[in-house]
């Protein structure tokens, strides 16, 4: 049975960007995660060890967000691979990272990168 777990609006203050100012001053980032997995075992058992622990997903994401990177693509890819490697039940995951007020000429509220991968 296919199910989806979503964690949305994970907010972090981090130091990602290509400019020195971004890596020194930091910025607000929002992360959304979608995980497709067979959760039928946990639906029957009602046991945390039979599902994908949301708190652990958050902790792994936070750890990756704390590592400064030039590109959002790189951060999103690290989160994606960390989740796929940590949770064997994941069939597909999508990670979206948005940076508030990116340093672009003109008014832009958020710049967002979305990456997805299916487990092989």
Q: Is 112 annotated as catalytic?
A: no
72-115 pLDDT, tens digit per residue, is: 999 999 999 999 999 999 999 999 999 998 988 899 999 999 99
Q: Which residue has the tokens 């490697």?
A: 85
Topology, domain 2-103 = GTP Cyclohydrolase I, domain 2 (3.30.1130)
Over the stretch 28-38, which tens digit does the pLDDT of each residue have?
Answer: 999 999 999 99
Residue 66: CB atoms within 10 Å:
10
Question: 0.75 cut: is pTM over it?
Answer: yes
Share of the chain above pLDDT 70, in %: 99
The upper half-sphere exposure of residue 56, i.e. CA atoms within 13 Å in the direction of its Cβ, equals 12
Active-site hit among 63, 99, 100, 119: 99
Computed on alpha carbons and rounded to an integer, the radius of gyration of the chain in Å comes to 16
Q: Which of 59, 79, 91 is closest to 16 using CA atoms?
A: 79
Residue spans per domain, the chain: 2-103
Q: What is the mean pLDDT of the chain?
A: 94
């Amino acid at each position: 049975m296919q199910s989806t777990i979503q964690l949305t609006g994970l907010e972090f203050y981090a130091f990602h960007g290509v400019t020195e100012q971004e890596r020194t001053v930091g910025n607000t980032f929002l992360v959304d995660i979608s995980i497709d997995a067979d959760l039928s075992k946990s639906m029957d058992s009602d046991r945390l060890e039979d599902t994908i622990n949301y708190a652990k997903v958050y902790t792994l994401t936070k750890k990756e967000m704390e590592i400064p990177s030039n590109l959002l693509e790189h951060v999103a890819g690290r989160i994606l691979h960390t989740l796929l490697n940590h949770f064997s039940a994941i069939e597909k995951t999508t990670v979206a990272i948005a940076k508030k007020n990116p340093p672009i000429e003109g008014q832009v509220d958020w710049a967002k990168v979305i990456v997805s991968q299916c487990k092989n």
